[in-house]
Amino acid sequence: GAGVSQSPSNKVTEKGKDVELRCDPISGHTALYWYRQSLGQGLEFLIYFQGNSAPDKSGLPSDRFSAERTGGSVSTLTIQRTQQEDSAVYLCASTSNLGQHTGELFFGEGSRLTVL
Amino acid sequence: QQPVQSPQAVILREGEDAVINCSSSKALYSVHWYRQKHGEAPVFLMILLKGGEQKGHEKISASFNEKKQQSSLYLTASQLSYSGTYFCGTGFSNDYKLSFGAGTTVTVRA
């Protein structure tokens, strides 16, 4: 498709389980962001990938969270030993901008995670 | 370094105007504005860059005051379709991270 694709769109898991969320950015976009949006809240920055540079992981809330981006394209956000406070919508965005965030971000529809 | 948005919420009648403000504690390089409708992904409205350049494709205007480290989004002659939550995102020199405010919920009523 032409847009940013995220899967799964909905994930219900039990506390303590690991989950993987996938993001397929727009082809050719070199920059990719992950954000977390809790119910009724703003967009919380998690991690940023730009080309082959080391990712900016400064927003990851704990060491249970990790992300990788393979081949400069698809990205996977992994949450280990999930907790109820991890419940949120996880949004991925990509941009073709090579400069300092001067290009618009294209967001995916998000992955809604519910931890029981 | 999350920007501060105000007001948190605003209710308008069709045709009325509103201003949403976004303030930063640090010198800004860029300000992004996005709108999110319930259950949907945020959608780009506008980018304002240090130096005055603006990029956008909606009938919504904005200003960027570098000295005051703030931006304002102007909703003029509001339409029902303007309803949603508006987020400002701020970028700084030498930092590729884009941080978003908590959002301003706009409700436009007929």
Q: Which DSSP category does A103 fall into?
A: S
Task: List pLDDT tens digits, range B56-74.
Answer: 656 688 988 888 889 999 9
Least confident of A3-12, A45-54, B73-82: A45-54
How much is the pLDDT for B97? 78
Q: Give the mean model confidence (pLDDT) for residues A82-101.
A: 86
How far is it, in rounded angstroms, from Cα A55 to Cα B90?
19
Chain A residues closer than 8 Å to B100 by CB: 35, 42-45
How far is it, in rounded angstroms, from Cα A29 to Cα A102?
13
CB contact under 8 A, B55 and A58: no
CB contact under 8 A, B40 and A104: no
SS3 B80: helix
Q: Is the pLDDT of residue A7 over 60?
A: yes
- Output the average pLDDT for chain A: 91
How much is the pLDDT for B30? 87
Least confident of A106-110, B13-17, B28-32: B28-32
- Whether chain B has a CB inside 8 Å of the CB on A1: the answer is no
Q: How far is A43 from chain B (nearest CA, A)?
A: 6
pLDDT > 90 fraction of chain B, expressed in percent and rounded: 55
Q: Give the count of beta carbons closer than 10 Å to the beta carbon of residue B74.
A: 12
Q: How far is A57 from chain B (nearest CA, A)?
A: 10
How much is the pLDDT for B1? 73
CB contact under 8 A, B30 and A48: no
Q: Is the pLDDT of residue A103 over 90?
A: no
How much is the pLDDT for B29? 82
Which single residue is written with the structure tokens 């050719």?
Answer: A28
- Output the average pLDDT for chain B: 88
Nearest to A58 among B41, B89, B97 (CB): B97
Q: Which DSSP category does A55 fall into?
A: P
How far is it, in rounded angstroms, from Cα A11 to Cα B11?
34
pLDDT > 90 fraction of chain A, expressed in percent and rounded: 70
Nearest to A42 among B44, B94, B100 (CB): B100
Q: Give the mean model confidence (pLDDT) for residues B78-83.
A: 94
Vertex B43: Cα angle to B38 and B48 (nearest 5): 135
